[in-house]
Amino acid sequence: MTLQTIAFEKREQLKQKPNSDQLGFGKYFTDHMFLMDYDEQKDWHNPRIVPYQSISVDPSAMIFHYGQTVFEGLKAYRTEDDQILLFRPENNMKRLNQSSKRMSIPEIDEEEVLHYLQQLIAIEQDWVPSAEGTSLYIRPVVIATDPNLSVEPSKTYTFMIILSPVGSYYPQGIKPVSIRVEQQYTRAVKGGTGTAKTAANYSGAYKAQEKATEQGLSQVLWLDGIEKKYIEEVGSMNVFFKIDGEVITPELNGSILEGITRKSTIELLNHWGIPVKEQKISMAELHAYYHNGKLEEAFGTGTAAVISPIGELIWENEKLVINEGQIGEVAKKLYDTITGIQTGKVKDRYGWTVEA
Ligand code: COI
């Protein structure tokens, strides 16, 4: 790795930091941000840390018209002895490049960018909150900046990393959610962009989410886009079911995002000797397991919530109440272990945490 010299322009007047009980998700941003540019001659160049500010992008920039963009999401946590830990960040860098490949965006040097991220966090270390459940959410994003309306990949890009202190996802304690099985809309199809972390996968889901919200439900369960049979994801998370003592998650099929919490969940279950399978599972099969009394737990996994237990599934006017609407034993153990490792409270036997 050849590190480019990173310029640092310090903000003159630092912002006032919000109280940890006001944080919410993605509402506050730190004093500085990271930027880097790409063009065909210079490749990725001019890495710099500057005061957090608006950026100037031409109205004809390709990001606005054809949505050529990718992003990532990871968190930094403050431990009780004031260390700052990142959770498996090399996986996020790798996935950023996988998303970029899919979206015809030039790849970054993963090690180099991780090093820049660590420098940014070192500068912003006072922004990493310490209250229970809080963290510093890290949002790397690449946008296509060519001022050109042709439908083709941009020749110039900007890479940014912004940081946002975020509150506990469960201020009132971890609570199972009610989910609507989505029959009309599709999140992604094999061969599409479902495995990439790209904007349209998220905004394209709003319509289904609106319908769930109207019915007082939290999220939707996504089925495959072709047969509308097989379970894929829940909301913006991967999904797991405990059925008759065995844990099942939909296999990565070309339309499911390769979650890092998903991967950590599978690795932990294997380590604990709990059978876990990545396989196709249809909603009809799940329904049959429910009526045979074999569906024991259901939960989503993702960076934002870590583990999100599913208490109810609404499918074709039927309500399936899972584990009496309570968090299951496996979901609880996973939540406690993953958040424990992330915050340094549980020994990291897997080498997942990296000091920022
Ligand atoms: C996650 O739960 O990790 C997500 O993908 C949500 C994020 C887009 C806010």
The domain spanning residue 31 has which CATH number?
Answer: 3.30.470.10
Domain shared by 91 and 191, yes or no: no
Is residue 349 one of the residues assigned to a domain?
no
Domain shared by 130 and 155, yes or no: yes
Which of 303, 306, 308 to probe ligand 1 with, by most ligand atoms within 8 A of CB?
A: 303
Ligand 1 mean position, distance from CA 139 (Å): 10
Q: With contact defined as beta carbons under 8 Å apart, do 182 and 220 qualify?
A: yes
Atom of ligand 1 nearest to the CA of 235: 2
Ligand 1 mean position, distance from CA 304 (Å): 5
Domain shared by 164 and 234, yes or no: no
By DSSP bridging, strand 69-71 and strand 74-78 are unpaired
Atom of ligand 1 nearest to the CA of 261: 3
Number of domains in the chain: 2
Atom of ligand 1 nearest to the CA of 304: 2
- Protein residues whose CB sits closer than 6 Å to any atom of ligand 1: 73, 236-237, 302-305
pLDDT of 15-29, one tens digit each? 999 999 999 999 999
Domain shared by 204 and 266, yes or no: yes
pLDDT computed for residue 169 by the predictor: 80
Q: With contact defined as beta carbons under 8 Å apart, do 37 and 148 qualify?
A: no
pLDDT of 155-176, one tens digit each? 999 999 999 999 988 777 789 9
pLDDT of 195-239, one tens digit each? 999 999 999 999 999 999 999 999 999 999 999 999 999 999 999
pLDDT computed for residue 206 by the predictor: 97
Q: Distance (Å, rounded) from C-alpha 329 to C-alpha 258?
A: 24
Rounded to the nearest 5 degrees, what angle is found at the Cα of 286, between the Cα atoms of 304 and 325?
55
pLDDT computed for residue 44 by the predictor: 97
Domain shared by 11 and 147, yes or no: yes
pLDDT of 95-127, one tens digit each? 999 999 999 999 999 999 999 999 999 999 999
Ligand 1 mean position, distance from CA 75 (Å): 11
pLDDT computed for residue 2 by the predictor: 67
Q: Distance (Å, rounded) from C-alpha 137 to C-alpha 142?
A: 17
Of 168, 203, 224, the residue at which a domain comes to its end is 168
Give the domain extent around 139.
7-168
> Alpha helices of 215-311 — where are they, by DSSP H?
260-272, 283-291
Which of 236, 237, 308, 338 to probe ligand 1 with, by most ligand atoms within 8 A of CB?
A: 236
pLDDT computed for residue 92 by the predictor: 98
Is residue 350 one of the residues assigned to a domain?
no
Question: Which protein residue has the closest C-alpha to ligand 1 atom 9?
Answer: 304
Ligand 1 mean position, distance from CA 42 (Å): 32
Is residue 35 one of the residues assigned to a domain?
yes
Q: State yes or no: pLDDT of 76 exceeds 70.
A: yes
The H or E element spanning position 75 is: strand 74-78
Domain shared by 161 and 105, yes or no: yes
Of 168, 192, 224, the residue at which a domain comes to its end is 168
pLDDT computed for residue 346 by the predictor: 97
Domain shared by 108 and 252, yes or no: no
Q: What is the pTM of this model?
A: 0.96
Is residue 133 one of the residues assigned to a domain?
yes
ipTM of the complex: 0.93
Tell me the pLDDT of the chain averaged across its residues: 96
Domain shared by 151 and 199, yes or no: no
Domain shared by 133 and 250, yes or no: no
DSSP per-residue string spanning 150-164: SSS--S-EEEEEEEE
pLDDT of 238-287, one tens digit each? 999 999 999 999 999 999 999 999 999 999 999 999 999 999 999 999 99
Domain shared by 42 and 152, yes or no: yes
Domain shared by 232 and 316, yes or no: yes
Q: With contact defined as beta carbons under 8 Å apart, do 301 and 261 qualify?
A: yes
Of 151, 168, 185, the residue at which a domain comes to its end is 168
Ligand 1 mean position, distance from CA 307 (Å): 12
Is residue 101 one of the residues assigned to a domain?
yes
Which of 170, 197, 237 to probe ligand 1 with, by most ligand atoms within 8 A of CB?
A: 237
Domain shared by 71 and 29, yes or no: yes
Atom of ligand 1 nearest to the CA of 300: 2
Which residues touch 149 (CB under 8 Å, ≥6 apart)?
60, 62, 65
CA distances from 173 to 71, 136, 335 (A): 29, 19, 12
Share of the chain above pLDDT 90, in %: 96
Q: State yes or no: pLDDT of 1 exceeds 70.
A: no
Q: Distance (Å, rounded) from C-alpha 54 to C-alpha 153?
A: 24
